[in-house]
Amino acid sequence: MPDIATPLAALRQHCWFKLINGASFQDVAQVYNVTLAYSLAGADCIDVAADPAVIQAAVEAVETAQRLGGGRPLIMVSINDGADPHFRKATFDPCQCPTDCERPCQRICPAAAISFTADVQGILRDRCYGCGRCLPLCPAGLIQTYEQPAAFANITPLIQAGTVQALEIHTQPHRYDAFYALWQQVQPWTGYLKVLAISCPQGEEVISYLRWLSELIQPLQCELIWQADGRPMSGDIGDGATRATIQFGQAILEANLPGFVQLAGGTNGHTVAKLRAMGLLPPRATAKAIAGVAYGSYARKCLAVFHTMADQPWQTVPDILNAAVAAAAALVHPLKSVPSPLAPYG
């Protein structure tokens, strides 16, 4: 078994696990509980929105996990250099909905962020993370989205204090000017970070763009991760969603960029098995190997049932916590190849 006692050791040994809570997901109670479960299950990094309340919830969950015998994953915050589906929310006026509508938007929403109860109608803003699945399904075409860009200046005190140890920049091919402008703000703070990640989807001339980014940001005083965002926010849709991100990860590996390559977007319960079968993870991996996997919508879906069973902090309901940690471990452990069962908590 590899020595993966710390997150950075896991990254270097190609068994890094990142939980993505969502760059626009701001349900503080759910962020706390999901972070707690995955921290106890062995996650190396917890990615959250650039919202001080959300960051604090994740920090408190990690501290609780430590008191219960878990590790200490890095807290990562996501920011963006322009319009991006990860940084948006849906909106509509429920008063305009036809009374006979079958509400397909509500059925499709993976975050249960659409409500038609007597008390709450419309989008539950804190739960919506911008996946966009509701948009084409509204029969009346009432649903729209609006941008919620992250304000980097709001988190610089938390970076300086060491509360936030990792930063992820979401960009897209050909955003040379936009990334350069954001980098002027970010670069002075990189000395405080342990990890800088750059997340990019596939697109025309994407490898050339990543090479330009690499030249711009070097040298770095922290570890660098290239996040291959193959099929954003789709891991919970179906088994085949993982193919695009694996192919994109291979392309980045072939580019021989300095740093590590980590998958995201379309990752699910089949991703690690496919990577191992293809020789892209230890023990069959060659010098070019995927360093880790980030799970977002799929990881949260694995624990969704427990939110309906308990909305209070899960450490106050030991049976719920144990079950949630076991479900989280079923996703974490195949990447880390940890054979031993988990000890119960509480």
In percent, how much of the chain has pLDDT > 90?
76
Question: Residue 7 above 70 pLDDT?
Answer: yes
pLDDT for 338 equals 39
| One-character DSSP codes across 181-234 | HHHHHHGGGGGG-SEEEEEEE--TTHHHHHHHHHHHH-S-SSEEEEEEESSTT-
Residues 255-296 have pLDDT tens digits of 999 999 999 999 999 999 999 999 999 887 666 899 999 999
* Segment 214-255, tens digit of pLDDT: 999 999 999 999 999 987 656 567 677 788 899 999 999 999
pLDDT tens readout for residues 105-142: 999 888 888 999 878 888 888 888 888 889 999 999 99
pLDDT surpasses 60 at 342: no
How far is the CA of 269 from the CAs of 159, 176, 335, in angstroms?
A: 32, 35, 10
Confidence of residue 340 (pLDDT cuts 50, 70, 90): very low
Instruction: Flag whether the pTM goes above 0.85.
Output: yes
Give the rounded percent of residues in the chain with a pLDDT score beyond 70. Answer: 93
